[in-house]
A and B are shown apart, each in its own frame.
Chain A
Amino acid sequence: MNDLLKMTLVLTLICVVAAVALSQVYRVTKEPIAVALEAEAKEAAATVLGPVLSDGAAVDKRAGGPDGAALYVAVKDGQPQGFAFPVVSHKGYAGDIGGMLGVDTEGRVLGYKVVQHSETPGLGSHIQTNEAWLKQLVFCPDGERRTLDSKNTDWRVKKDGGDIDALTGATISPRAVTGSIKAGLEWFAEHRAELTGTVSPNPVEAQDAGPPTPNPKLEEGGVVDQKLPAAVALPKVEKTPPPFTEKTLTE
């Protein structure tokens, strides 16, 4: 009996100490992790918005992206020049493929970047690294930017009868990326009117652009600076949903 008591006591004590230690580490690292994910999403947004940023526009983060994600708007003289938002495919070969898609106000593709994936190294992973392949997601063979218009681009891989090349040894990963871009373009086409219309310096209107999900985690720890260094002074959107990568990374 005495033995049983001791065993229970020691094990309980160890677990309690471990739990306290872990909660402290979690508290300390929570903010740097949020900052790192945020910086990653912001960097990706700046990359895919590159073509419109070169003439002096600044990136502004807002709520109202697809599925409660963030929306990055390139703003110049108060006018939106382009939009970047996360597109996630659940049809990857090994897990979700998270990407950032940039479009201009007309819905033309400005850029696409894979942010997070777990595809096979050396095969499917080329969706992130193969420059030529990534370029043909943005430009048609004649040099026009791709759009949702079916005359412009059939958003399927060539194997399925579409216009997008697959990669050597990998069809599933390109197919997933292609599908997620198409879904992203469709989302933009649906919301284009309100997005191009409601991007005003008024944060209340900006919030109306989509249902913002309050994120107590971010608010509590202080909202991270939402602008790139060169950003113009625009009011911040108070409530920001977590970057989508947080979800995909922890699942």
Chain B
Amino acid sequence: MSHVQEFTKGLLRENPVFKLVLGMCPTLAVTTSAENGIGMGLASTFVLVCSNVLVSLLRNVIPAKVRIPAFIVIIASFVTVVDLTMNAYFHQLHKALGLFIPLIVVNCIILGRAEAFASKNKVTPAIADGLGMGIGFTLALFVLGSTRELLGSGSVLGVPILSSLIGAIGWDFKQVIVMILPPGAFIALGVILSIINAVSKRMTKAPASG
């Protein structure tokens, strides 16, 4: 498989959220707005790429029996680096993501990629895989975050799209508060997953029949 394919598989075909359904804890918890989703996604991408590189470099050094604790130490270190750096230089974003950054440690996407891919491949494909999976994760969080923010607050990235649109027609915009509460995360994710499954089913059928 070429490096390009290693990269693109994470975007859609093996999207960690929509296809592999991994890392549900941060996915459901932080996506109350599009901005939070992007922030969480980018922080995870950084940790994912860094840990993939290091795990790939050390793949012949780390004995198989202690690989999981070694991976966890590597991942946890990068997470702490992200946590401190973000708190220092992106204080507002850090306040919004707060609790969830330490949760990246137990985000199974990262450990999953270290175990399933980086520990068996060279550095370049590991970077491509980490970037692809990370951006795919960010994309998924952005889609989910925008959907919930649009319905729950009437805006996307803080821009009042839906509320001003409905206001323009002359109706009163009512927030669907449940969408930014935890149940809304499950509802939105379920609906998006079913749409994606339906579309991809149709797409795989089409070439076979035609």
A residues at B contact (CB < 8 Å): 3, 6-7, 10-11, 14-15, 18, 21-22, 25-26, 29, 32-33, 36-37, 40, 116, 118, 120-123, 169, 249
Asked if residues B63 and A29 are in contact (CB atoms below 8 Å), the reply is no
Surface stretch bound by A, among B7-15, B69-77, B127-135, B157-165:
B69-77
Cα distance, A29 to B73, chains bound together (Å): 21
Known: A21-B81, A25-B81, A32-B88. A10 touches B61 (CB 8 A): yes
Cα distance, A118 to B177, chains bound together (Å): 17
In the complex, the 8 A-B pairs of residues with the closest C-beta atoms, listed nearest first = A32-B88, A29-B88, A36-B91, A18-B77, A29-B84, A122-B180, A122-B177, A7-B66
Which single member of B65, B73, B89 contacts A15 (CB below 8 Å)? B73
Instruction: Return B31 CB to nearest CB of chain A, in Å.
Output: 11
Instruction: Return B192 CB to nearest CB of chain A, in Å.
Output: 20
B152 CB contacts on chain A under 8 angstroms? 122
- Provide a sorted-by-A list of 11 A–B residue pairs whose CB atoms are within 8 angstroms: A7-B63, A14-B70, A14-B74, A18-B76, A18-B77, A21-B77, A29-B89, A36-B87, A116-B95, A118-B99, A123-B181
Asked if residues A11 and B177 are in contact (CB atoms below 8 Å), the reply is no
Chain B interface size band reads 20 to 34
B62 at interface (Cβ–Cβ under 8 A)? yes
B194 CB contacts on chain A under 8 angstroms? none
Encode contact with A along B52-72: 1 for CB under 8 Å, 0 otherwise. 000000100111011001100
B23 at interface (Cβ–Cβ under 8 A)? no
Cα distance, A22 to B89, chains bound together (Å): 17
Closest to B99 in A: A118
Cα distance, A22 to B77, chains bound together (Å): 7
Which single member of B63, B80, B95, B180 contacts A25 (CB below 8 Å)? B80
Asked if residues B63 and A6 are in contact (CB atoms below 8 Å), the reply is yes
Known: A7-B66, A14-B73, A122-B175. A29 touches B85 (CB 8 A): yes
Inter-chain residue pair count (beta carbon < 8 A): 69
B95 CB contacts on chain A under 8 angstroms? 116
B119 at interface (Cβ–Cβ under 8 A)? no
Cα distance, A15 to B72, chains bound together (Å): 10
Asked if residues B66 and A36 are in contact (CB atoms below 8 Å), the reply is no
Asked if residues A122 and B153 are in contact (CB atoms below 8 Å), the reply is yes
Cα distance, A14 to B85, chains bound together (Å): 22
Known: A29-B87, A122-B175. A7 touches B65 (CB 8 A): yes
Closest to B152 in A: A122
B73 CB contacts on chain A under 8 angstroms? 11, 14-15, 18
Asked if residues B91 and A120 are in contact (CB atoms below 8 Å), the reply is no
Closest to A18 in B: B77
B98 CB contacts on chain A under 8 angstroms? 118, 249
Cα distance, A29 to B152, chains bound together (Å): 36
A249 CB contacts on chain B under 8 angstroms? 98
Cα distance, A40 to B70, chains bound together (Å): 38
Closest to B84 in A: A29
Cα distance, A96 to B88, chains bound together (Å): 22
